[in-house]
Amino acid sequence: MGEFVRISVDEKKCGGADKARSLVDVCAVGVFEIKDEHLRVVEENEDECTFCDRCMDVCPNGGVKIIKLYEQ
Amino acid sequence: MRLLEYEAKSILTQYGIKTPKGTLLSRNEDPADINYGPCVIKSQVPIGGRKKQRGVLDSDEEPELDRQIQSVFETEIQGYRPAMVLIEEKVEVANEFFMAVTYDTVKKRPVAIFSSEGGIDIEELAQKEPEKICREHFTFRDGLAEYKARQIIADTGISDKLLLGVGSVLSKLATIFIEKDATIAEINPLVLTRENELIALDCHLDIDDDALFRHKDLAGLQKDGSRYEFLHSQTDFERKAAEIDNLDHRGVAGRVIEFDGNLGLIIGGGGASLTAFDAIRAHGGKPANYCEIGGNPSVKKVKELTRHILSKPGVEQIAVIMNVVSNTRVDLVARGIIKGILEAGEKPSETVAVFRVPGAWEEEGIKILKKYGVRYCDRKVSIDQAAQMAVSQG
């Protein structure tokens, strides 16, 4: 689990499994992976998130949430 | 990666640049078959200025040859000892030239440099008689055509057939620089023999480590530990740090040299690691290690490096000092440092003696450091002052 960043993803809000899977391709630091046919967040990579927002471009409707834990 | 002279010369030969007739001799080979008459014995170590350090010897008399070869094999040069020596036929020199191609980081273009005075220390000549050195930038796309190379050389007063010949060599050297992804390609000296031949007597070729994946043959050389002996063998601590650096391709975090002190250092930024290291010592601090980080390493690498440095017995604090960095994110470094400390079971506020990393994403970095109570400073505090703060904390 991330110490500084927490990321969650909602496949449905991203427009289905296929579209959500493209998150795996756009994330340069490996935050997302496909496991058991479903998209999931790789917790050990959450702290590598650079806030590039490319995942937000793929899932613009709140399907991906990124929280800066150090701001809370 | 710096190629050995004979490796670099074999590349010159592939591109049609002449080199002296030579034989490579390994430590256990019998030199009995070598019969050149006057020759030069050259230590094959990845170091410049070998002649001044008795790594290059002239041999005019055959009875002396065996003894001189042995001497070159045994001579340590800046921690390196050769596994091979190159024995080359002595060339009758009529004239010597210097040429190099390197990358100008200010103009962001490759630059060709030429001087009609070869065989010299070019830095010294550049200071004393800069007018004797000509240089011209070119682009990676166009390369350095022969006519452009001739224009550079003509400025030094060379003309006629010699101009054609030297221009051709400089153009080929630029092609080598581009095609081999070199960071420097230098021939010093290129000599004109009494028979009017142009021959490269020595060559310095450095290949960009990050481009080695494009040159499988050269990458193989880098992994070959038998090319020369490096007498400073890595400690277990340094070896583990190197493994951390190899965790992923992102940035550098793990080039470490171990020392006896108690203050762990995580330092870097365009030569600032040396400055910071010296400053720590100047203020009476005792570094536990030298290290370099930069190029935006992953959080994981910085975290593992931090844990590793803290694992060294006697190290209770670390100083994190970098130059103003645009290519390394402050917040990612801060995350790695804090995470490493937490995983080591320590408190960031007590373990970081000073955090001075100004640069990209600094504001975000400061938010993280504040949250964990870490003492930080920005670019208003010099590296020297930060070093002083770190030492006074210990």
Q: Is the pLDDT of residue B122 over 90?
A: no
Q: Is the pLDDT of residue A52 over 80?
A: yes
Query: Min CA distance, B368 vs chain A (Å)?
Result: 6
Percent pLDDT > 70 in chain B is 98
Measure the CA angle with vertex B136, ends B134 and B142; round to 5°: 150
Q: Between the CA of residue A18 and those of A10, A54, B17, B115, B249, what are the distances in Å?
A: 13, 17, 56, 62, 29
State the average pLDDT over residues B141-157. 94
> Who contacts B327 (Cβ-Cβ below 8 Å, separation ≥6)?
B294, B295, B296, B360
Q: Is the pLDDT of residue B290 over 70?
A: yes
Lowest-confidence region among B69-73, B215-219, B224-228, B340-344: B224-228
Q: Is the pLDDT of residue B22 over 70?
A: yes
B338 touching A (Cβ < 8 Å): yes
Q: Helix, strand, or coil here: A23?
A: helix
Q: Which residue of A has its CA nearest to B249?
A: A29
Q: Between the CA of residue A9 and those of A26, A54, A58, B47, B127, what are the distances in Å?
A: 14, 14, 12, 54, 61
Confidence tier at B298 by pLDDT (50, 70, 90): very high
Residues B74, B87: Cα–Cα separation, whole Å:
15
Lowest-confidence region among A56-65, B27-36, B124-133, B142-151: B27-36
Q: Which residues of chain A make contact with B367, given a CB cutoff of 8 A?
A: 68, 70-71
State the average pLDDT over residues B126-143. 90
Q: Which residues of chain A make contact with B335, given a CB cutoff of 8 A?
A: 3-4, 47
Predicted confidence at residue B394, as pLDDT, reads 65
Q: Which residues of chain A make contact with B300, given a CB cutoff of 8 A?
A: 47-48
Predicted confidence at residue B62, as pLDDT, reads 65
Radius of gyration of chain B (CA): 25
- Are B299 and A70 inside 8 Å of each other by CB? no
Looking at domain A5-71, which CATH architecture does it have?
2-Layer Sandwich (3.30)
Residue type (1 letter), B130: P
Predicted confidence at residue B254, as pLDDT, reads 82
Q: Between the CA of residue B18 and those of B99, B150, B163, what are the distances in Å?
A: 15, 19, 16
State the average pLDDT over residues B289-308. 95
Predicted confidence at residue B31, as pLDDT, reads 75
Query: Min CA distance, A15 vs chain B (Å)?
Result: 31
The beta-carbon neighbor of A47 closest among B335, B367, B371 is: B335
- Are B342 and A3 inside 8 Å of each other by CB? yes
In this structure, what are the phi and psi dihedrals at residue B257, rounded to the nearest 5 degrees?
-120, 130
The beta-carbon neighbor of A3 closest among B298, B329, B339 is: B339
- Are B335 and A71 inside 8 Å of each other by CB? no
Measure the CA angle with vertex B363, ends B362 and B369; round to 5°: 85
Domains and CATH numbers, chain B: 21-89 (3.30.1490.20), 93-223 (3.30.470.20), 234-393 (3.40.50.261)
Confidence tier at B224 by pLDDT (50, 70, 90): confident
Residues B108, B105: Cα–Cα separation, whole Å:
5
pLDDT tens figures, B248-284 = 989 999 889 999 999 999 999 878 999 999 999 999 9
More confident residue, B36 or B85: B85
In this structure, what are the phi and psi dihedrals at residue B276, rounded to the nearest 5 degrees?
-65, -45
More confident residue, A43 or A1: A43
pLDDT tens figures, B338-392 = 999 999 999 999 999 999 999 999 999 999 999 999 999 999 999 999 999 999 9
Q: Which residues of chain B make contact with A47, given a CB cutoff of 8 A?
A: 299-300, 335, 339
- Are A48 and B367 inside 8 Å of each other by CB? no
Tallying the residues shown for chain A, one arrives at 72
Predicted confidence at residue B218, as pLDDT, reads 93
Predicted confidence at residue B61, as pLDDT, reads 67
- Are A50 and B368 inside 8 Å of each other by CB? no
Radius of gyration of chain A (CA): 11
Confidence tier at B167 by pLDDT (50, 70, 90): very high
